[in-house]
Amino acid sequence: MFTCPIGCPSDCCKFEDFEDMPVVLEDEVRTLTQEAGRIGIKLRFEPYGEHNGVKLYKWVIEGWCPFFKGKCTIHEKKPLSCRMYPLVLNLKTGDIYLSEKCLWVRLNGPKPLDHFPAEKEALKKLVIKLRL
């Protein structure tokens, strides 16, 4: 079963390429903005289109996620795209794949979805919200 490795370099929380940045839902933008306000930071989101009438946004993170302080400081409120990592949903094709940025995936190789029960549950919630 998948468990984020202790001592992970947390590459999942560091972003350089716009395409790798998390896609978030409108309600998640509100939650993230509220959490950012609590610690006095501003976040940036760019519209990323719609999927079955659901508005999507790219959470523009340049470098480290502002909520990563050795671990996720908003773990219970983080967006579905973060909860389902290292599972990634390609919105254009509907394909689900494992991110090669994840240290666990690099060390253990590809595994069936059953190796990722919590992440699979987050993916299921996203699929339902997007009406896929």
Residue 92: per-residue pLDDT: 86
Q: Which two tokens stand for residue 38?
A: 């609590």
pLDDT of residue 8: 72
pLDDT at position 76 is 93
Residue 39 pairs in a beta bridge with: none
pLDDT at 7: 67
Contact residues for 55 (Cβ-Cβ < 8 A; gap 6+): 25, 26, 47
- How high is the mean pLDDT in each 10-residue block of the chain (132 residues)? 76 91 97 97 97 96 93 93 95 90 89 94 96 88
